[in-house]
C-alpha cells in the first residue's frame, strides 16, 4: 500500500511539472492516448518476492492491488475525459487550418499546418487576419488586388533571375577586332571613337546616319556582316511597335502578368521585363508577330550591295510550346537570328520617323561624294514612336542601359539592351539613337563571349563612344562645306 502511494505521488508530481513546462495544447496531444501508470523498480521487486505473512494478510493483498488498479483506471478515465473536453480547443490549433482567400474571379485555398501547439497560432493569426489599410486600398471595386510599381518590378525581376547556372566557353576578347576592315569610305573620327570604345573585346560597333542610311563606321566587319545571333531583348522593339500598331496597348495600358502583377509599357521597356513581352507575344499570335518583323526588315538583307553581308533568319514556324512558343520569341528572340545591320536599320527607322533605308557602306571618297539614299519601304510608325520614347529614354537614365550615363550625360540617348546566350556563348546588345546638337546618330554595339559579355556592358561602351565624339567636338555645328566633306548632313525629323 505504501509503495503504491509513493508511485502515485511520483506520477502526480511529474504531471504537475509537465503542466508547468509544456503548453496546454501539447499536453492535450500527449494525453490523447491512454498511458499505463509507470511502476518503480522497487515496486516490481517487492511484487516478485514471496510474502511470508499470515494467510489472512496474504488474502488481503489482492484486494489492495485491485483497489490500486481501479484507482489507476479512474485516473486514466478522468484524463481521457479531460482530453476529450479540451480537444475542440486544441484541434483549432493543431489541425490543418484552411483559410480561403478569393482574388478577383479565382479563389485560392491556403493550408497552414501547425504541429507545435498553440505557440505558432498567434503569429499566423496576425499574418492572415490583419489587413493593412494600404492593402485594402489596393483592391479595386471588383475585388481584384493589383500590385504595381516598385513591388511588381522587384517580384518580376526575381522571377526572371530564376534558372540554372549556365557555363560559357567562348572568349570575350580578341587580339585585333579591326583586322580586315575596309575603312576608306568611313568617317575617320567616328571610326576612331568606335575602335577606342570597343578595345580588344570580341564584338562589333556600328554608327549610322539615320537620315540617309549611310554607315559612318563599322568596326570588326567580319562579325558585323555575319549571319547574326539571337537578338535577345532587342526584339522587344519590334514587338512593341506591333502591339501599339494593333491597338492592343498604349503607353499607359496596364498589362496583367498573372496573379496580382500588372505593368505598363514605360517600365517594361526601361527594365526589360520579359513576362510583359511574352504576354504581348501571346496576344499578338505568331502570324502577326512574323508579319511585323518582316516589315521591319528581319529575315532580309539590311544593306545594299555590301560585300560579304549574310542574311539573318526569321523562322516560318512558331517555336514549340515546350520551348516557350511565341512568348519566348518575343521576349528573348529565341529561334531568331538577327544581324547588327538589321538592328541598326530598324533603330534608324525609329529615329527618323518611319523610313526604312537600305544601309550603304561607301568604299572610297568618291562613293561618299556621289552617295544617294535608297529607301526600302516606309513604315507607318510615326504616331507610335512617342508612346515608346519614355521607355527607351528610361532604359538609359535608370534602367538596364544606365551604365551609359557613367561616362556621358551631355544630351538625351534612347536605347535598348539585350542579354542572352546559346550553346555556351553569351550575347550582349545595345542599340541606341541620340538627339545631338547637329541631328541624330544611331549606334549598335554587339558583343559575344563568356560571362563578361552582356547588354549593360555594351551600353557602357556606347557611352564611351559618345564621350570621345563629344570631346573631339564632333557634335559641334559645322559649316556646310566641312559637313559635306567629313560626313553627310543629318536631319532631325
What SS3 class is residue 421? strand
Residue among 411, 464, 409 at smallest CA distance from 434: 411
What SS3 class is residue 453? coil
> What angle is formed at CA 259 by the lines to CA 258 and CA 265, rounded to 5 degrees?
50
Does the pLDDT at position 343 exceed 50? yes
User: What is the structure's pLDDT at 429?
Assistant: 98
pLDDT band, very low/low/confident/very high, at 491 (cuts 50, 70, 90): very low
**Using an 8 Å Cβ cutoff, are 408 and 283 in contact?**
no
**Digit-coded pLDDT (tens) for 59-71:** 444 444 444 455 4
Average pLDDT over residues 256-283: 95
pLDDT band, very low/low/confident/very high, at 162 (cuts 50, 70, 90): low
Average pLDDT over residues 35-49: 48
User: What is the structure's pLDDT at 352?
Assistant: 97
CA terminus-to-terminus distance, the chain: 110
Does the pLDDT at position 360 exceed 80? yes
User: What is the structure's pLDDT at 481?
Assistant: 47
**Using an 8 Å Cβ cutoff, are 354 and 379 in contact?**
yes
Q: CA-CA distance, 236 to 289, in Å (whole number)?
A: 11
Chain CA centroid to CA 486, Å: 44
Does the pLDDT at position 293 exceed 50? yes
**Using an 8 Å Cβ cutoff, are 86 and 28 in contact?**
yes
Does the pLDDT at position 33 exceed 90? no
Q: CA-CA distance, 393 to 386, in Å (whole number)?
A: 11
Please, what's the b/e burial string for 377-400 (b: 16 or more CB within 10 A of its CB; e: otherwise)?
eebebeebbebbbbbbbbbbbebb
Tell me the CA distances in angstroms from 294 to 194, 242, 266, 274, one per residue in order: 29, 11, 25, 22
Residue among 411, 404, 408 at smallest CA distance from 438: 411
**Digit-coded pLDDT (tens) for 202-235:** 999 999 999 999 999 999 999 999 999 999 999 9
Please, what's the b/e burial string for 122-148 (b: 16 or more CB within 10 A of its CB; e: otherwise)?
eeeeeeeeeeeeeeeeeeeeeebebbe
For residue 134, what is its C-alpha cell? 494600404
Q: Can you give the length of the chain in residues?
A: 493
Query: Among residues of the chain, what percentage have pLDDT more than 70?
Result: 63
User: What is the structure's pLDDT at 46?
Assistant: 46
> What angle is formed at CA 230 by the lines to CA 227 and CA 234, rounded to 5 degrees?
115
Element of type H or E holding 418: strand 413-422
Q: CA-CA distance, 310 to 299, in Å (whole number)?
A: 11
Predicted TM-score (pTM) of this structure: 0.68
User: What is the structure's pLDDT at 170?
Assistant: 86
Lowest mean pLDDT among 143-147, 312-316, 397-401: 143-147
Lowest mean pLDDT among 54-58, 83-87, 148-152, 258-262: 54-58
Q: CA-CA distance, 311 to 92, in Å (whole number)?
A: 68
Of residues 196 and 148, the one with the higher pLDDT is: 196
Q: CA-CA distance, 401 to 431, in Å (whole number)?
A: 10
pLDDT band, very low/low/confident/very high, at 407 (cuts 50, 70, 90): very high
Dihedral, CA of residue 114, residue 119, residue 121 and residue 127, to nearest 10: -110
Q: CA-CA distance, 359 to 321, in Å (whole number)?
A: 36
Tell me the CA distances in angstroms from 147 to 150, 156, 431, one per residue in order: 9, 11, 31
Quickly list DSSP for 97-165. Answer: EEEEEEETTEEEEEEEE--SGGGSHHHHHHHHT---HHHHHTB-TTS-B-B-THHHHHHHHHHHH-SPP
Report which listed range, 85-99, 236-250, 466-480, is most confident: 236-250
Average pLDDT over residues 92-120: 38
For residue 104, what is its C-alpha cell? 478577383
| R_g over Cα of the chain | 38
Does the pLDDT at position 176 exceed 60? yes
Does the pLDDT at position 53 exceed 50? no
For residue 264, what is its C-alpha cell? 505598363
Q: Is the dihedral of CA 108, 114, 118, 123 positive or negative?
A: negative
Query: Among residues of the chain, what percentage have pLDDT more than 90?
Result: 60
pLDDT band, very low/low/confident/very high, at 304 (cuts 50, 70, 90): very high
Residue among 345, 374, 376, 349 at smallest CA distance from 231: 345
Q: CA-CA distance, 332 to 428, in Å (whole number)?
A: 12
pLDDT band, very low/low/confident/very high, at 153 (cuts 50, 70, 90): low
Of residues 365 and 43, the one with the higher pLDDT is: 365
What domains sit in the chain, N to C, each tagged with a CATH number? 168-486 (3.40.710.10)
For residue 156, what is its C-alpha cell? 518580376
**What's the mean per-residue pLDDT of the chain?**
78
Chain CA centroid to CA 456, Å: 15
Amino acid at each position: 500500500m505504501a509503495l503504491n502511494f509513493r508511485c502515485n505521488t511520483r506520477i502526480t508530481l511529474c504531471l504537475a511539472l509537465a503542466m508547468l513546462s509544456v503548453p496546454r495544447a501539447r499536453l492535450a496531444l500527449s494525453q490523447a492516448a491512454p498511458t499505463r501508470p509507470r511502476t518503480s523498480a522497487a515496486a516490481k521487486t517487492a511484487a516478485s518476492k514471496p510474502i511470508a505473512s499470515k494467510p489472512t494478510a496474504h488474502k488481503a493483498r489482492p484486494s489492495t492491488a485491485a483497489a490500486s488498479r481501479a484507482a489507476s483506471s479512474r485516473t486514466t478515465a478522468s484524463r481521457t475525459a479531460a482530453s476529450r473536453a479540451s480537444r475542440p480547443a486544441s484541434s483549432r490549433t493543431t489541425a490543418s487550418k484552411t483559410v480561403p482567400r478569393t482574388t478577383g474571379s479565382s479563389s485560392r485555398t491556403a493550408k497552414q499546418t501547425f504541429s507545435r501547439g498553440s505557440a505558432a497560432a498567434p503569429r499566423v493569426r496576425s499574418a492572415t487576419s490583419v489587413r493593412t489599410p494600404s492593402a485594402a486600398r489596393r483592391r479595386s471595386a471588383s475585388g481584384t488586388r493589383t500590385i504595381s510599381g516598385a513591388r511588381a518590378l522587384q517580384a518580376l525581376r526575381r522571377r526572371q533571375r530564376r534558372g540554372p547556372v549556365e557555363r560559357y566557353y567562348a572568349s570575350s576578347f580578341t587580339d585585333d577586332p579591326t583586322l580586315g576592315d575596309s575603312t576608306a569610305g568611313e568617317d575617320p573620327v567616328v571610326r576612331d571613337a568606335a575602335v577606342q570604345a570597343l578595345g580588344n573585346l570580341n564584338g562589333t560597333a556600328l554608327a549610322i546616319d539615320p537620315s540617309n542610311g549611310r554607315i559612318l563606321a563599322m568596326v570588326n566587319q567580319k562579325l558585323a556582316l555575319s549571319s547574326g545571333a539571337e537578338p535577345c531583348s532587342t526584339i522587344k522593339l519590334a514587338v512593341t511597335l506591333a502591339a501599339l500598331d494593333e491597338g492592343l496597348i498604349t503607353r499607359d495600358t496596364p498589362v496583367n502578368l498573372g496573379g496580382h502583377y500588372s505593368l505598363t509599357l514605360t517600365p517594361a521597356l526601361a527594365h526589360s521585363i520579359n513576362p510583359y513581352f511574352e504576354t504581348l507575344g501571346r496576344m499578338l499570335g505568331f502570324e502577326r508577330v512574323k508579319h511585323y518583323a518582316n516589315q521591319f526588315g528581319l529575315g532580309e538583307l539590311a544593306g545594299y550591295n555590301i560585300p560579304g553581308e549574310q542574311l539573318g533568319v526569321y523562322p516560318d514556324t512558331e517555336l514549340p510550346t515546350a520551348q516557350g512558343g511565341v512568348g519566348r520569341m518575343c521576349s528573348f528572340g529565341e529561334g531568331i537570328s538577327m544581324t547588327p545591320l538589321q538592328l541598326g536599320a530598324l533603330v534608324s527607322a525609329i529615329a527618323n520617323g518611319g523610313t526604312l533605308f537600305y544601309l550603304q557602306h561607301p568604299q572610297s571618297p568618291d562613293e561618299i561624294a556621289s552617295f544617294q539614299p535608297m529607301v526600302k519601304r516606309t513604315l507607318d510608325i510615326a504616331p507610335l514612336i512617342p508612346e515608346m520614347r519614355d521607355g527607351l529614354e528610361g532604359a538609359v537614365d535608370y534602367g538596364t542601359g544606365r551604365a551609359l550615363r557613367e561616362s556621358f550625360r551631355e544630351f538625351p540617348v534612347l536605347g535598348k539592351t539585350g542579354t542572352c546566350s546559346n550553346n555556351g556563348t553569351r550575347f550582349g546588345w545595345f542599340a541606341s539613337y541620340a538627339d545631338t546638337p547637329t541631328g541624330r546618330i544611331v549606334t549598335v554595339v554587339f558583343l559575344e563571349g563568356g560571362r563578361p559579355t552582356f547588354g549593360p556592358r555594351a551600353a557602357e561602351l556606347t557611352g564611351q563612344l559618345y564621350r570621345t565624339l563629344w570631346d573631339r567636338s564632333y557634335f559641334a555645328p559645322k559649316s556646310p562645306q566641312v559637313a559635306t566633306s567629313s560626313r553627310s548632313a543629318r536631319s532631325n525629323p
